[in-house]
Amino acid sequence: MSDKTFSWHKDDDQIAVITMDVPGESMNTLRDSFNDEVVEILAQINADSSLKGAVLVSGKPDSFIAGADIGMLAACETAADAEAISRTGHGVLAKFAELKIPVVAAIHGPCLGGGLEVALACDYRVCSDSPKTILGLPESQLGLLPGGGGTQRLPQIVGVAKGLELMLAGKQLRTKQAKKLGLVEEAVPNSVLLMVAKKWALKGKRGKVTPKLAGISKALEATAVGRNVIYDQAAKAAFKKTQGNYPAVAKIIEAVKIGREQGMEAGLQAESKGFGELVASPESAALRSIFFATTAMKKETGAGDVQPAKINKAMVLGGGLMGGGIASVTALKAKVPARIKDIAEPGLQNALAYTYKQVDQRVKRKQISAAQRDKQMSLLSTTTQYDGVSDVDIVVEAVFEDLKLKHQMVKDVEANCAEHTIFASNTSSLPIGQIAAAAARPENVIGLHYFSPVEKMPLVEVIAHDKTSPQTIATTVEFAKKQGKTPIVVQDGAGFYVNRILALYMNEAANLVLEGEPIEKLDKALVKFGFPVGPVTLLDEVGIDVGAKIAPILLNELGHRFEAPSAFDKLLADDRKGKKNGRGFYQFNAKKKGAKPVDESVYQVLGVTPDGKLSAEQLAERCTVQMLNEAVRCLEEGIIASARDGDIGAIFGIGFPPFLGGPFRYIDSLGADSLVATLRKYQQRFGERFEPCDKLVAMAESGERFHR
Active site residues: 461
User: Quick check: 190 and 128 in contact, CB under 8 A?
Assistant: yes
Residues in the chain, total: 708
Which of 134, 172, 139 is closest to 255 using CA atoms?
Answer: 139
Q: At what angle do helices 282-297 and 264-279 cross, to 10 degrees?
A: 70
- Separation CA 429–CA 550 (nearest Å): 6
CA atoms within 13 A on the CB side of 230: 26
Beta pairing, strands 135-136 & 172-173: antiparallel
- Separation CA 372–CA 226 (nearest Å): 44
Which stretch of DSSP H or E encloses residue 694?
A: helix 694-702
CA distances from 696 to 508, 638, 667 (A): 20, 14, 10
**Rounded (5°) CA angle 314-317-320:** 120
- Separation CA 121–CA 293 (nearest Å): 32
- Separation CA 473–CA 683 (nearest Å): 39
Beta pairing, strands 15-20 & 6-10: antiparallel
- Separation CA 599–CA 586 (nearest Å): 5
Q: Tell me the residue type at 221.
A: E
Which of 254, 238, 234 is closest to 246 using CA atoms?
Answer: 238
Residue 186 — φ and ψ, nearest 5°? -145, 150
Which of 627, 649, 650 is closest to 696 using CA atoms?
Answer: 627
- Separation CA 439–CA 445 (nearest Å): 8
Work out whether the CA dihedral 20, 26, 29, 35 comes out positive or negative: negative
- Separation CA 290–CA 24 (nearest Å): 25
User: Quick check: 129 and 106 in contact, CB under 8 A?
Assistant: no
- Separation CA 543–CA 389 (nearest Å): 33
Listing DSSP states for 272-318 in one string gives HHHHHHHHTSHHHHHHHHHHHHHHHHTT--SSTTPPPPP---EEEE-
DSSP reduced 3-state for 18: strand
- 687 burial class (0-12, 13-18, 19+ CB within 10 angstroms)? exposed
56 secondary structure, DSSP code: E
- Separation CA 317–CA 59 (nearest Å): 45
CA atoms within 13 A on the CB side of 298: 9
Residues forming a β-bridge with 30: 68
Helix %, strand %, coil % of the chain (to 5):
55, 10, 35
CA distances from 650 to 133, 173, 635, 653 (A): 31, 29, 13, 5
